[in-house]
Amino acid sequence: MEMEHEMTSADMQQCIQNCRDCQRICMQTLTHCFARGGEMAEATHLRLLMDCAEMCQTSANFMLRVSDLHPYTCAVCAQVSEHCKQSCERFGQSDQLQLCADACQRCADSCHYMAQAAVAA
Protein backbone atom coordinates (compact mmCIF):
# COMPACT_ATOMS: atom_id res chain seq x y z
CA MET A 1 0.00 0.00 0.00
CA GLU A 2 2.82 2.42 0.83
CA MET A 3 4.44 1.82 -2.57
CA GLU A 4 1.17 2.81 -4.29
CA HIS A 5 1.09 6.07 -2.31
CA GLU A 6 4.67 6.88 -3.36
CA MET A 7 3.86 6.24 -7.01
CA THR A 8 0.82 8.52 -6.82
CA SER A 9 2.91 11.19 -5.11
CA ALA A 10 5.59 10.92 -7.83
CA ASP A 11 2.92 11.10 -10.54
CA MET A 12 1.48 14.21 -8.90
CA GLN A 13 4.91 15.84 -8.64
CA GLN A 14 5.50 15.13 -12.34
CA CYS A 15 2.10 16.57 -13.23
CA ILE A 16 2.79 19.70 -11.18
CA GLN A 17 6.08 20.13 -13.04
CA ASN A 18 4.39 19.58 -16.42
CA CYS A 19 1.75 22.18 -15.53
CA ARG A 20 4.38 24.70 -14.44
CA ASP A 21 6.43 24.11 -17.59
CA CYS A 22 3.36 24.48 -19.78
CA GLN A 23 2.31 27.68 -18.00
CA ARG A 24 5.75 29.20 -18.51
CA ILE A 25 6.00 28.18 -22.18
CA CYS A 26 2.47 29.42 -22.93
CA MET A 27 3.37 32.83 -21.51
CA GLN A 28 6.61 32.92 -23.54
CA THR A 29 4.66 31.90 -26.63
CA LEU A 30 2.10 34.62 -25.99
CA THR A 31 4.90 37.21 -26.06
CA HIS A 32 6.35 35.58 -29.20
CA CYS A 33 2.98 35.70 -30.97
CA PHE A 34 2.40 39.34 -30.03
CA ALA A 35 5.82 40.22 -31.47
CA ARG A 36 5.30 38.25 -34.68
CA GLY A 37 1.82 39.61 -35.30
CA GLY A 38 -0.31 38.52 -38.21
CA GLU A 39 -2.18 35.25 -37.91
CA MET A 40 -0.20 34.30 -34.79
CA ALA A 41 -1.69 37.29 -32.99
CA GLU A 42 -5.33 36.46 -33.69
CA ALA A 43 -7.51 36.95 -30.63
CA THR A 44 -8.73 33.34 -30.42
CA HIS A 45 -5.17 31.96 -30.38
CA LEU A 46 -3.88 34.49 -27.84
CA ARG A 47 -6.86 33.95 -25.57
CA LEU A 48 -6.28 30.19 -25.68
CA LEU A 49 -2.62 30.66 -24.71
CA MET A 50 -3.72 32.79 -21.75
CA ASP A 51 -6.45 30.32 -20.78
CA CYS A 52 -3.98 27.45 -20.89
CA ALA A 53 -1.36 29.30 -18.84
CA GLU A 54 -3.93 30.23 -16.20
CA MET A 55 -5.49 26.76 -16.04
CA CYS A 56 -2.04 25.16 -15.72
CA GLN A 57 -1.21 27.47 -12.82
CA THR A 58 -4.54 26.77 -11.15
CA SER A 59 -4.20 23.01 -11.57
CA ALA A 60 -0.64 23.04 -10.21
CA ASN A 61 -1.81 25.06 -7.19
CA PHE A 62 -4.66 22.63 -6.46
CA MET A 63 -2.21 19.70 -6.57
CA LEU A 64 0.33 21.54 -4.41
CA ARG A 65 -2.38 22.00 -1.78
CA VAL A 66 -3.38 18.34 -2.21
CA SER A 67 -6.91 19.60 -2.72
CA ASP A 68 -9.60 16.94 -2.96
CA LEU A 69 -10.85 18.91 -5.98
CA HIS A 70 -7.63 18.58 -8.02
CA PRO A 71 -9.08 15.85 -10.28
CA TYR A 72 -11.58 18.42 -11.56
CA THR A 73 -8.98 21.07 -12.28
CA CYS A 74 -6.76 18.44 -13.88
CA ALA A 75 -9.61 17.30 -16.13
CA VAL A 76 -10.25 20.87 -17.31
CA CYS A 77 -6.52 21.55 -17.64
CA ALA A 78 -6.15 18.48 -19.87
CA GLN A 79 -8.92 19.77 -22.15
CA VAL A 80 -7.60 23.32 -22.34
CA SER A 81 -4.04 22.10 -22.95
CA GLU A 82 -5.22 19.86 -25.78
CA HIS A 83 -7.01 22.78 -27.45
CA CYS A 84 -3.96 24.99 -27.01
CA LYS A 85 -1.72 22.30 -28.50
CA GLN A 86 -3.96 22.09 -31.57
CA SER A 87 -3.95 25.85 -31.97
CA CYS A 88 -0.16 26.02 -31.73
CA GLU A 89 0.27 23.20 -34.24
CA ARG A 90 -1.37 25.35 -36.90
CA PHE A 91 1.88 27.34 -36.99
CA GLY A 92 4.26 24.52 -37.90
CA GLN A 93 6.97 26.89 -39.13
CA SER A 94 7.57 28.29 -35.65
CA ASP A 95 9.97 26.56 -33.25
CA GLN A 96 8.41 28.44 -30.31
CA LEU A 97 4.92 27.25 -31.16
CA GLN A 98 6.14 23.69 -31.57
CA LEU A 99 7.75 23.91 -28.10
CA CYS A 100 4.41 25.11 -26.80
CA ALA A 101 2.48 22.33 -28.53
CA ASP A 102 4.85 19.74 -27.05
CA ALA A 103 4.54 21.20 -23.53
CA CYS A 104 0.76 21.31 -23.87
CA GLN A 105 0.71 17.65 -24.91
CA ARG A 106 2.82 16.61 -21.90
CA CYS A 107 0.57 18.62 -19.60
CA ALA A 108 -2.62 17.24 -21.16
CA ASP A 109 -1.36 13.67 -20.84
CA SER A 110 -0.30 13.97 -17.20
CA CYS A 111 -3.40 15.94 -16.16
CA HIS A 112 -5.65 13.41 -17.88
CA TYR A 113 -3.83 10.63 -16.01
CA MET A 114 -4.21 12.44 -12.67
CA ALA A 115 -7.93 13.05 -13.28
CA GLN A 116 -8.52 9.40 -14.23
CA ALA A 117 -6.36 7.99 -11.42
CA ALA A 118 -8.35 9.94 -8.84
CA VAL A 119 -11.64 8.64 -10.23
CA ALA A 120 -10.36 5.06 -10.11
CA ALA A 121 -9.18 5.42 -6.50
Query: Percentage of the chain surpassing pLDDT 70?
Result: 90
Residue 119's pLDDT band, with cuts at 50, 70 and 90, is low
Per-residue exposure over 50-86, b if at least 16 CB sit within 10 Å of its own CB, e if not? ebbbebbbbbbebbeeeeeebbebbbbbbebbbebbe
pLDDT band at 31 (very low <50, low <70, confident <90, very high): very high
User: How much of the chain exceeds pLDDT 90, in percent?
Assistant: 83
CA–CA dist 27, 14 (Å, integer)? 20
- Which carries the bigger pLDDT value, residue 7 or residue 10? 10
Distances (CA, A) of 112 to 6, 7, 13, 37, 44: 19, 16, 14, 32, 24
